[in-house]
Structure 1
Amino acid sequence: MTVAVATAALMLLGGPLPVAGADGSGTARAADGWSAREAEAFWTPERMASAEPVTPGVPGTRAAKAGIGENFDGIPVVGRMFVMQGGGAYFCTASVVASPGHDLVLSAAHCLLGPDSRQVAFVPRYTRAKPRPYGMFPVLRGTNGRPKVWIDPRYPREGPDRAATVDAAFAQVGPDAEGWRVQDVVGANRLVTGATYTHARVELIGYPATSARPRRCHNRTTKFTSTDPGIPGSFLRIDCTGYPGGTSGGPFLAHYDPQTGTGEVVGVIGGWKTGGTTPDTSYSSYFGKEIRKLYETAVAGARGA
């Protein structure tokens, strides 16, 4: 945590305090031993830099009338979600979503679905030059030893095509090595469900596997209804250039405020074809009552941790 953020937090009456560890110290430790310090020791800058996207990239093509993407230094509420699956190190994009426990992050279900997902950790505003500017937040584990991730049960049961309309996942992260909760350190986006498919302006942020920095673009969204009976449903669609593998889980931010670096998250890259078939057009599941119910389930589950 930066000195500026810590000072601002302590100036707030009744503001956020470090979450104490089991030994009464300010160093947080997950019940099963997967603490922030262990996550930092495991996810070295070299291992993070070598991680591959959970889903492979697609050949570069340019869509007509697409918004123009550009690489930038990122914003604190968006980062990389690192995960070990099988024998490899992988990543997707994730973002902090406001919650009562100040400890939830949002990504795509297809990023965190793996039955052997382990050593999962969120790094806000990751870049190769500054791999841990706000620390590292380990995804907590449940009593079964699995990461505390909430995915609609239809997604693993029916698969990424039949259940493409619910391609979203919430994960509970523990405090960083200094005991701070993620939302208290970097802020959070507000989850919005039941809105329109068409937004006049959405900020799209993701982490391409081909870049050392994240990517941003803004454009309008449209409603896309699949004609493929194997992938039923309607989705948000946005034209933004240069979003290959690694950007899955990146937030669709409506009413983005550059002063606070936050907005209203109305989708994440995923859904139809787990986000699309070209890097210049991205999709998201529609955030309706199913995603709201999933969020409420995650909030209740995190509260009971």
Structure 2
Amino acid sequence: MAPRPVRPARAARTAALAALLLAAGTACSGTDQGPTAEVAQQSAARDRIGTLSVRTPQGPRACTASVVRSPKHNLLVTAAHCVQNRRIGLLDGLVFTPGYRNGYSPYGSWPVQSITVDPRWADDDDPEYDVAFITVRPVDGKQVEEAVGGNPIATGQGFGQAVSVTGYPNERDEPITCSVTTRSQSPTQERFDCGGYTDGTSGSPWVTATGTVIGVIGGYQEGGDTPGTSYSVAFDGRVAELYRQATT
């Protein structure tokens, strides 16, 4: 389906959806066993990851997103539940702030322009399609990928992949990260086990050693509602088709 423009923010609607997303629908992990995520040290690659928040970097946070390579250099990937809920619709007024740390926005904030989700997510909140691509507007004449770079997306990589997962818990002002190995949750869903991925980390990219994104926190249980485990839709032909739609 073609990208849909984000409508002008309406305070009541935006606040209601933000409350729903933040209360129930972001990844929640953290266990007494196994690894726990640590503070992510700043790097150029991690500056491609940032917060999705309402109106300003200090506004209510929705989730995490990251810049991916695209022909127009203006594309992000996140989880669909971060930007849309079937009961209310699109979350309006979002901005993306790459590399955000401790109140500092080194690259500024990039207003969301359009959102592409699969119709099966839009109609039914189907967890098999919990991925979204977002375009953002240029800032000072520059596209976001030109400012921070972008990671390629790969599909069909299978399970058992070593990845690092970096994201922004709502209760922190700096990102966390964990190095993990993916496992199969089902033929179309994958998982990893690491504590610390609380509300706000949905949409966090699963990045391989070559810098390729092969998942985002989301999917089953909208990313996870039990301690210590996070999920993603397996990046396969469904995601490849959604990317094609978002970039045409």
Query: How much does 1:68 deviate?
Result: 2.9
Q: Structure 1 residue 137 and structure 2 residue 99: aligned?
A: no
2:35 aligned partner? 67
Q: Structure 1 residue 280 and structure 2 residue 248: aligned?
A: no
Please show how residues 241-280 of structure 1 align to structure 2 within 5 Å. 241-256=195-210, 263-280=211-228
Structure 2, gaps ≥5 residues long:
10-17
Q: Do the aligned partners of residues 198 and 33 (structure 1) sit closer, same or farther apart at CA in structure 2, a change above 3 Å counting?
A: closer
- Whether the aligned pair in 2 keeps the contact of 1:52 and 1:246 (CA below 8 Å) is no
TM-score (norm 1): 0.68
Pick one of 172, 180, 188 that aligns with 2:135: 172
Larger CA deviation: 286-295 vs 67-76: 67-76
**Using the alignment, how far apart are the partners of 1:120 and 1:166 within structure 2?**
21
Runs of 4+ in structure 1 deviating by more than 4 angstroms, as ranges, are 31-34, 57-61
- Whether the aligned pair in 1 keeps the contact of 2:204 and 2:217 (CA below 8 Å) is yes
- Whether the aligned pair in 1 keeps the contact of 2:28 and 2:199 (CA below 8 Å) is no
SS in 2 for 1:190: coil
Query: How much does 1:117 deviate?
Result: 1.8
Query: How much does 1:235 deviate?
Result: 1.2
Question: Per-residue displacement from partner, 1:176-204 (whole Å, max 9, x unpaired)?
Answer: 1x2111001100111001111221x1101
Pick one of 7, 15, 22 that aligns with 1:55: 22
State percent identity of aligned pairs: 35
Aligned residues: 225
Structure 1, gaps ≥5 residues long:
1-30, 40-50, 141-147, 226-232, 257-262, 301-305
Q: Structure 1 residue 127 and structure 2 residue 96: aligned?
A: no
1:111 aligned partner? 82
Q: Do the aligned partners of residues 218 and 99 (structure 1) sit closer, same or farther apart at CA in structure 2, a change above 3 Å counting?
A: same
**Using the alignment, how far apart are the partners of 2:159 and 2:183 within structure 1?**
6
Higher relative contact order (CA 8 A, sep 6+): 2
- Whether the aligned pair in 2 keeps the contact of 1:63 and 1:281 (CA below 8 Å) is no
2:188 aligned partner? 234
Q: Do the aligned partners of residues 128 and 164 (structure 1) sit closer, same or farther apart at CA in structure 2, a change above 3 Å counting?
A: same
CA RMSD of aligned residues (A): 2.6
1:79 aligned partner? 50
- Look at both structures and tell me which one has the larger radius of gyration over its CA atoms: 1
- Whether the aligned pair in 1 keeps the contact of 2:27 and 2:222 (CA below 8 Å) is no
TM-score (norm 2): 0.83
Query: How much does 1:120 deviate?
Result: 1.4
Question: Per-residue displacement from partner, 1:257-278 (whole Å, max 9, x unpaired)?
Answer: xxxxxx1000000011001123
